[in-house]
């Protein structure tokens, strides 16, 4: 992997501040849905295990803050822009199917969707905006956002950190990051199949 969406390249280029900015954008800004949040967290854990980036406790402190702040921004966008956001025609970046997928996920899982959506790429971006558009109570939304933000960022980062101490993983970092990217696409495929069956 190389280029804009290579998590190792992103971390090496922009550091911890870049990681926080990317998580914020993916969790709250609609145009951030394509950003590699899962693989970025995993790669961050791997690099920390190798003595790079920052101490582990720093990542476990600041990354959830960035993710939750992104969620709160997404809720505010949905609350203020609502229909104007979701009624847009398809464009290069915005696709109605992303909204449909997030809507189905949100309706099926209710408030817990805010936690579960953290682990589903694309859905996690749109579900937060939909919660705002649906006028979900802010305090309830914020609570679920904190729970999901901590579980997602800490869980995936710690997984990378622990595996970073395994020689096989440490010696083939690129391969394992590609594997995480592929695994992160599995929930999207499952949601797509469910949407087709429902249709």
Every domain of the chain and the residues it spans = 7-198
Pairwise CA distance, residues 130 & 110, whole Å:
11
33 three-state secondary structure? coil
Mean pLDDT across the stretch 155-170? Answer: 83
Per-residue model confidence as pLDDT tens digits over 115-151: 888 887 777 888 888 888 877 889 989 999 999 999 9
Higher pLDDT, 167 or 99: 167
**Please, which pLDDT band fits residue 2 given cuts at 50, 70 and 90?**
very low
Contacts of 89 by beta carbon, 8 Å cutoff, 6+ apart: 96
Average model confidence (pLDDT) across the chain? 79
102-152-15-74 Cα dihedral, nearest 10 degrees: 40
Q: For the residues 85-96, what does the mean pLDDT come to?
A: 61
Angle 96-109/173-198 helices, nearest 10 degrees? 80
Report the C-alpha gap between 29 and 24 in whole angstroms.
8
Q: Which of 44-48, 81-85, 180-184 has the lowest mean pLDDT?
A: 180-184
**Residue 30 banded pLDDT, cuts 50, 70, 90:** confident
Q: Are 144 and 27 in contact (CB under 8 A)?
A: no
Written as six digits, the tokens of 1 are 């992997």
Residue 95 scores a pLDDT above 50: yes
CB burial of residue 37 (10 Å; 0-12, 13-18, 19+): buried
Question: In angstroms, what CA-CA distances link 80 with 75, 113, 123?
Answer: 9, 21, 20
Q: Are 20 and 37 in contact (CB under 8 A)?
A: no
Q: Cβ(11)–Cβ(40) under 8 Å? A: yes
Q: Which residues contact 68 (CB under 8 A, 6 or more apart)?
A: 27, 142, 145, 146, 149
Distance CA 32, CA 103 (A): 18
pLDDT of 113 > 90? The answer is no
pLDDT computed for residue 24 by the predictor: 93
For 19, phi then psi, to 5°, come to -60, -45
């Amino acid at each position: 992997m190389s280029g804009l969406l290579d998590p190792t390249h992103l971390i090496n280029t922009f550091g911890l501040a870049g990681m926080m900015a990317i998580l914020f954008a993916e969790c709250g800004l609609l145009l951030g849905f394509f950003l590699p949040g899962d693989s970025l967290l995993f790669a961050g854990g791997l690099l920390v295990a190798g003595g790079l980036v920052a101490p582990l406790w720093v990542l476990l402190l600041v990354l959830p803050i960035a993710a939750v702040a992104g969620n709160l921004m997404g809720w505010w966008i949905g609350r203020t822009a609502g229909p104007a956001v979701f009624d847009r025609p398809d464009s290069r970046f915005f696709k109605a199917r992303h909204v449909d997928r997030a809507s189905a996920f949100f309706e099926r899982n209710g408030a817990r969707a805010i936690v579960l959506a953290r682990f589903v790429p694309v859905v996690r971006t749109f579900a937060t905006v939909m919660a705002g558009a649906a006028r979900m109570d802010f305090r309830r939304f914020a609570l679920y956002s904190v729970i999901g933000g901590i579980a997602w960022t800490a869980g995936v980062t710690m997984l990378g950190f622990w595996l970073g101490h395994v020689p096989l993983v440490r010696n083939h970092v690129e391969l394992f990051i590609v594997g995480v990217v592929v695994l992160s696409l599995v929930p999207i495929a499952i949601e797509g199949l469910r949407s087709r069956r429902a249709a």
